[in-house]
Every structure is written in structure tokens, then in C-alpha cells.
A = this chain, B = another copy of it.
Amino acid sequence: MSNIYSMILCGGSGTRLWPLSRENFPKQFLTLHGERTLLQNTALRMLNTVPLEYLRLISGAKWHDLVTAQLGAIFGNGNLPEHLITEEPCARGTAPAILLAVEELLQYGAKADDVVIVAPSDAFIRDNRIFTEALKVSVRAARDGFIATLGIAPTRPDTGFGYILQGKAYGGGYYEAERFVEKPDLKTAQEYLRAGGYYWNGGIFIFTPESLYRELEHADQELYALAMRKNLRGIFADIKNISFDVAVMEKAERVAVVPLVNSGWSDVGSWDALHDDVLEHDEENNVAVGDALVMGCGNCFVHSAGGKLAVLYGVNDLVVVDSPDAVFITRRGKSQEVRRVVKMLKDCGRNDNV
């Protein structure tokens, strides 16, 4: 039986959880529930499927210290795999990053028929057992020659995700991925939910290097030609910026989707998502994290990470986040618009607060 590697994508940056996530401290490194960061929970979750020595991170030089510190804290620094981190020379999107990591994995000794699981480092999954079961099915699909992806059963008509339409059953618990669709508008998303058979694309891919190159050859000949030169690192800055979805998944011929149902998956893409998907509510649907008190409030989220007491009194439908240098207050349902705040702060030259 071939080996299984897990590659965690950890190069992303973003400020969707501003003022806690920052350009120099993105979401995957935050502790948003329980004791561990999203990255730490992702790494531990993968150990249900692969041994520690087959764990890999794809990341940027910028995050090297954070990654090794956070993984060292849970695994012990001496236990980290020798080739733990594949460092992207620069940001070129997920397709070049994954191709580089696969190339170096093969140089390291992996076989063309080994299985590679690619997963983001910044998602939340409540039920690791369901996730691990779905990965087992995905590994079977990968060994059968498919590029597999987990299709997350949608719980609402979210317009923040791409969707995958499930086609015919291939047997073994996986299905043809009939179509990948870009983020829809609300009406379309509502139709998808009504119609059924549509899943959220959570960016989790499972394949063998063999299948990957076979599909890449016709999906993106330019990238394929570069990959065949076996020196992606040397030319990385010259590669186009392109996502794995666009370069490979949307055009690949043998793509399987494995439904991930009732796993409690969340991309934690906003403070609202953290409230709605991840954290425990009181009877009035309030969530209070850190040194925070709510009195006579309903449907409020408050996260106090700035070392001070936060008190909400007699308010409804608010998001309140206190960080060491900024406190942010918005309405529930509007927290995904935080990018406008971040943009405004940059426009004002307040880069210290971003």
C-alpha cells in the first residue's frame, strides 16, 4: 500500500478577523476556540490519517518562526519532520505552491502513487471522526486515479464559497464532480440549496502525483511544461499566479467529490462565522470570549483579547472585538465587511493597526 502525505497550506495572509488577524499575523495562527490555534488543530487532525513524519506545511519564509513555534509547542521541537516546511519563494497562488511541494516531496523520496492530502490550515472542524472517515474514502478515490475533493454539505446559502455539483456515483462512497462553480449570488446559492447535490468547495484535495501530472497535462499545458522541468523553485517568481481550483480542478477529467456531512466544518471566514459555526451560545444567542460580560443582550458576539474587561449592556446584534491596539464594533451580519475598515485604515496610513 502506498504512503499518505498530508500537506497543510499555511502561506495565506488576511485580515478577515481584524483586529485580531493582521497582515503579519493571519487567522491560522489565532486561538479562536479552546486552547489551540487553527493551525495546531489542523495538524493534530491530520495525524488521525498520516503519521507525523509524513506531515508537511506549505508556507512562506515570513511565517517560518510562527509555524515551527506553534507545531513545536504541540509536537515537541525535536519531533518535527526534517522536511516539515516547503517554503514558497513568493506568493503565486495555490497551484504553483502545491506543484512545488509535490515536486520536492518526490525528490525527498515519495512515490508517484503515494497519496497527497492538501488542506488549508485555517478551517474549523467540529467532528474529526466524520472528517477522517471522509478522508479515507478520498484516499481510495485517489488510489483509483481520481483527484478527489471533499464537498462540504452546505448549511446555508452562503455566497462566500465556490460550489461543487455532485454527479453520478462512482461506488465506494464518492461521486463524479460534475461541475465547479464560482461564488454565486444569493439567489443562485438559494437555488443550489433547494436543488440539492451542491457542496461547498473547502479547498481540500486528495490525489497521487501521478494523477496530478496526468490531469495538469491537459488542464494547463503551460504549468505542466514548467513542472516537467523539475526546477519550479528556480523559476518560481516567473510562474503565473493561479489557484489550484482554476488551474486543475475546474478542467480535470477524473475528479471525484466525497461528501462531508454534519462535520461542523467552518472556514471561520468572519466574526459572524465564528459566532454561528464554532462557539457555544448562551440562551440569548450571545457568545462571550475572554474577559467579557453581557447583560440584557441578545445575539451578540464579544471577544476580549486586549487584556481588558468588555461589558455589553442592553444591546443586540453586535460584534465587539477588543485587541491590544484596537477595538472594533459592528453589526452582526456585517463582519465580513471588515475589509472596508482595513482598507480605510491603510488609506489613512495607519498601517500599524492593520
A8-26, CB < 8 A from B: 19
A315 near B295: Cβ-Cβ < 8 Å: no
**A337-B308 Cα distance, complex, nearest whole Å:** 21
Q: A315-B330, A328-B313 are in contact. Are A340 and B295 (CB under 8 A)?
A: yes
The minimal Cβ–Cβ distance linking A70 to chain B, given in whole angstroms, is 26
A309-330, CB < 8 A from B: 309-315, 318, 320, 322-330
A329 near B326: Cβ-Cβ < 8 Å: no
A331 interface hit (Cβ, 8 Å): yes
Task: Collect the chain B residues with CB atoms within 8 Å of residue A326's CB.
Answer: 308-311
Task: Collect the chain B residues with CB atoms within 8 Å of residue A310's CB.
Answer: 326-327, 329
**A304-B325 Cα distance, complex, nearest whole Å:** 11
Q: Report the nearest B residue to A344, measured CB to CB.
A: B295
Task: Collect the chain B residues with CB atoms within 8 Å of residue A327's CB.
Answer: 304, 306, 308-311, 320, 322, 327
Q: How many residues of A sit at the interface, in one of the four size bands?
A: 20 to 34
**A340-B314 Cα distance, complex, nearest whole Å:** 11
**A88-B115 Cα distance, complex, nearest whole Å:** 82
Task: Collect the chain B residues with CB atoms within 8 Å of residue A304's CB.
Answer: 327
**A338-B296 Cα distance, complex, nearest whole Å:** 12
The minimal Cβ–Cβ distance linking A89 to chain B, given in whole angstroms, is 35
B329 near A295: Cβ-Cβ < 8 Å: no
A111 interface hit (Cβ, 8 Å): no
Task: Collect the chain B residues with CB atoms within 8 Å of residue A320's CB.
Answer: 327, 329
Chain B CB within 10 A, most for which of A295, A309, A323, A327: A327
**A329-B323 Cα distance, complex, nearest whole Å:** 15
Chain B CB within 10 A, most for which of A293, A311, A312, A325: A311
A315 near B312: Cβ-Cβ < 8 Å: no
Identify A308's interface contact among B309, B315, B325, CB under 8 A.
B325
Task: Collect the chain B residues with CB atoms within 8 Å of residue A325's CB.
Answer: 308-309
Chain A 320-354 against B: per-residue CB contact (8 Å), 1 yes, 0 no?
10111111111100100110110011000010010
Q: A327-B327, A334-B314 are in contact. Are A341 and B306 (CB under 8 A)?
A: no
B350 near A295: Cβ-Cβ < 8 Å: no
The minimal Cβ–Cβ distance linking A331 to chain B, given in whole angstroms, is 5
Task: Collect the chain B residues with CB atoms within 8 Å of residue A308's CB.
Answer: 306, 323-327
**A331-B314 Cα distance, complex, nearest whole Å:** 6
B295 near A313: Cβ-Cβ < 8 Å: no
The minimal Cβ–Cβ distance linking A102 to chain B, given in whole angstroms, is 42
**A327-B314 Cα distance, complex, nearest whole Å:** 14
Task: Collect the chain B residues with CB atoms within 8 Å of residue A324's CB.
Answer: 308
A160-197, CB < 8 A from B: none
Task: Collect the chain B residues with CB atoms within 8 Å of residue A345's CB.
Answer: 311
A329 near B312: Cβ-Cβ < 8 Å: yes
A-B contact pairs, 19 of them (CB 8 A): A19-B311, A309-B350, A309-B353, A310-B327, A310-B329, A311-B328, A311-B341, A311-B345, A313-B328, A313-B330, A313-B338, A314-B330, A314-B337, A315-B330, A315-B331, A318-B318, A318-B329, A322-B327, A329-B329
Which positions in A face B, CB cutoff 8 Å?
19, 293, 295, 304, 306, 308-315, 318, 320, 322-331, 334, 337-338, 340-341, 344-345, 350, 353
